Amino acid sequence: MPTNRQIVLDKRPTGEAEAGNFRLVTSETPALSEGQVLVRHRFLSLDPYMRGRMNEGKSYAQPQPLGEVMIGGTVGEVVESRSPKFTAGDQVVGMGGWQEFSVVDAGQPGALRKVDDSRVPLSHYLGAVGMPGVTAWYGLNRIIEPQAGRTVTVSAASGAVGSAVGVLAKARGCRAVGIAGGAQKCRYVVEELGFDACIDYREHGDAGSLSRALKQACPDGIDGHFENVGGMVLDAVLLRANAFARVAVCGMIAGYDGQPIPLTYPQLILTNRMRVEGFIVSEHMEVWPQALAELGELVGSGRFRPRESVAEGLEAAPEAFLGMLRGRNFGKQLVRIS
């Protein structure tokens, strides 16, 4: 069995996460038992939710244990199998974590899923045709419930989740307006993803200024909003929200370092009779087949061209992860492992 390099959580962050919170270790891969498969990882997914799992406090999931391999989605290939469900050479997606190989119990429901890379590149199964894409699909369709002609806004619009929200909203006849950081990202959102407009939040120092930009981009107000950031962005959106607007709360990356995220205009939720709902996509597995089918068709047909940032080598994962939290990535952040 191969030697396996792994990145473990060495110590919990206090405030902003740093490279010293992680440690690279080497271990021997255990021999397979009946029903298990050995997977060689090709790509590792880096996602904002991982930052919350690094903390010890109460959350929707158990904290990442110290001294254990960091959690994370992976795609790769089966190199050895003792399960009738998989054979060597199968392309698979799972939660292999920050390591080069994983031993997986193939009988565990949802542990591994075969994928086809003939039309969809393997890496996209960690982004647009994976958990981030399904996250976008659920929040848009089950919470925002878009209607043709209505306006949908999304923060972090050039990212893995935000980009899918906009493409899906346009497919439903909506006006899609993104909020992103930097002129290059905003151009991508409009010119390649097909959003109607995109606002560079870095050009605005407060919620009032950002709200005025939203007024220009959304002349009929905002009917649905998909939130990935929080803070000033959410304040600005609330100022432009229509009566009965809906907000799907997916992430609050502005507060992942443990700082409070004040909400300046909570009274607008009542004034506009708004629906604001947070969700965790892993609690809604019933929608995954339908969502993945639509997303796969959009990517496979070329109507959705996701952008990726790829770091090279397992050892690059901590710095790539920290860069993603600071907005340095462009699109889905991945690590190419082998």
Angstrom distance (rounded) from CA 321 to CA 327: 10
Residue burial 172-197, b: 16+ Cβ < 10 Å; e: rest: bebbbbbbbbeeebbebbbeebbbbb
Q: Judge if 109 and 122 occupy the same domain.
A: yes
Q: Judge if 211 and 181 occupy the same domain.
A: yes
259, part of any domain: yes
Q: Judge if 61 and 84 occupy the same domain.
A: yes
Which CATH number covers residue 229?
3.40.50.720
pLDDT digit string, tens, across residues 232-267: 999 999 999 999 999 999 988 887 777 788 899 999
Q: Judge if 87 and 153 occupy the same domain.
A: no
293, part of any domain: no
pLDDT digit string, tens, across residues 38-65: 999 999 999 999 998 998 877 777 899 9
Q: Judge if 101 and 202 occupy the same domain.
A: no
Looking at the DSSP bridge assignments, the partners of residue 24 are 7
298, part of any domain: no
19, part of any domain: yes
207, part of any domain: yes
Q: Judge if 165 and 232 occupy the same domain.
A: yes
Give the count of domains, the chain. 2
300, part of any domain: no
Q: Judge if 110 and 136 occupy the same domain.
A: no
pLDDT digit string, tens, across residues 164-197: 999 999 999 999 999 999 999 999 999 999 999 9
Pairing mode, strands 3-9 and 22-28: antiparallel
Beta carbons of 310 and 334 less than 8 angstroms apart: yes
Angstrom distance (rounded) from CA 78 to CA 89: 5
203, part of any domain: yes
Q: Judge if 261 and 232 occupy the same domain.
A: yes
Residue-number span of the structural domain to which 181 is assigned:
131-282
Q: How far is CA 275 from the centre of its chain?
A: 22
Q: Judge if 217 and 147 occupy the same domain.
A: yes
294, part of any domain: no
pLDDT digit string, tens, across residues 122-166: 999 999 999 999 999 999 999 999 999 999 999 999 999 999 999
Task: Output 61-67 pairs: Cβ under 8 A, ≥24 positions apart.
Answer: 61/280, 64/9, 65/9, 66/8, 66/9, 66/10, 66/11, 66/12, 67/8, 67/9, 67/10
pLDDT digit string, tens, across residues 24-41: 999 999 999 999 999 999
Q: Judge if 120 and 10 occupy the same domain.
A: yes
Q: How much is the pLDDT for 295?
A: 98
Q: Strand locations in the chain, DSSP E?
A: 3-9, 22-28, 36-45, 74-81, 91-94, 101-105, 112-114, 151-155, 175-180, 197-200, 222-227, 241-249, 275-278, 308-312, 332-336
Which CATH number covers residue 20?
3.90.180.10
